[in-house]
Structure 1
Amino acid sequence: MTISPEFVAGLAADAEAAGITGFVAAAVINHNGRVLLVRRNPDDYMGGMWEIPSGKVEPGETILDAMYRETTEETGLTVDQVISYIGHFDYWNSSGGTTRQFNFAVTVEKSEPVVLTEHDAHQWALPGVLPEVSDAVRDLLTS
């Protein structure tokens, strides 16, 4: 499946129309039936929580560009293919606004080594046996 630039622009336009103040792009990386999770550093906002690799969309960057960049920055892995857009969820961010996280199912060129730069641990988890993740991430990975 190819995600068109028009589709991605539409995601951004819909979020802006809904009053969303922050955009985050995320990669759901599956390998042998397991999904890659990374754990937030204890001193970070929501420290100790497990999440999928994700990060802020920077000014002038598309949601998809941010997903590619953040995946590489946070895990050292390179996205090979975007399989599909699997939805979004909204949450309150640390500055009191609403952030929308756009989630994409992807494959990576190689699943190892995972090199963490912003998290303190990683694991390949079975979707039905997840560690401490937000309800939104749990719903995303088990639906």
Structure 2
Amino acid sequence: MTVTSDLARTLTEEAEAEGITTFVAAAVVADADRILLVRRKPDDFMGGLWEIPSGHVDAGESLLDAARRETQEETGLTVSSVDRYLGHFDYENSRGTTTRQFNFAVTVAETGPVILTEHDLHQWVNPTGDLQGVTDGVRKVLTSA
């Protein structure tokens, strides 16, 4: 599904109508047939899990801008385009409330070097391969990407 500002706004409005007010924007970064995963530091919430670059949407920020910003902050990679909406999933956050993660396929200007600021490792994986250490939500996004 092509990503537009209108689509992003509709997604957040639908989530708010469902009572969800905490949003995360995530970027599926591909390099040929591989996808970038980053691992949460052991002492973080959900420590040790592998995930796609993602982070909270700040007040007044669009989902698309958050996906670009979080990718840059967490990996040092610059998003040149947000290409497709890959769906969402909900999870319980560290405060015990529900967070909705919106997932987007993105294109980056260059796929390296990956410079981590919030994670302890990164890896490029085949999304149809053995996805050890990822949540069911991330697995579903990666296998549909």
Q: TM-score range by the shorter chain?
A: over 0.9
Helix, strand or coil at the partner of 1:9 = helix
Paired position in structure 1 for 2:108: 108
Paired position in structure 2 for 1:40: 40
TM-score normalised by the chain length of structure 1:
0.96
Paired position in structure 2 for 1:142: 143
Runs of 5+ in structure 2 lacking a partner?
none
Contact 2:41/2:47 (8 A) holds in 1: yes
Runs of 5+ in structure 1 lacking a partner?
none
Contact 1:21/1:97 (8 A) holds in 2: no
TM-score normalised by the chain length of structure 2:
0.95
Paired position in structure 2 for 1:53: 53
Percentage identity across paired residues of the two chains: 63
**What is the rounded CA distance, in whole Å, between the counterparts of 1:78 and 1:100 in structure 2?**
24
How many pairs align? 143
**What is the rounded CA distance, in whole Å, between the counterparts of 2:26 and 2:110 in structure 1?**
18
Deviation at 1:89, TM superposition (A): 0.3
Paired position in structure 1 for 2:74: 74
Q: Which amino acid aligns with 1:45?
A: F
**What is the rounded CA distance, in whole Å, between the counterparts of 1:132 and 1:4 in structure 2?**
32
Give the superposed CA RMSD: 1.1
4+ residue segments displaced more than 3 Å:
none
Paired position in structure 1 for 2:133: 132
What are the superposed Cα offsets for residues 58-112 of structure 1, whole Å, 9 maximum, x if unpaired?
0111111110000000000001111200100000000011000000001100001
Deviation at 1:131, TM superposition (A): 2.6
Paired position in structure 1 for 2:94: 94
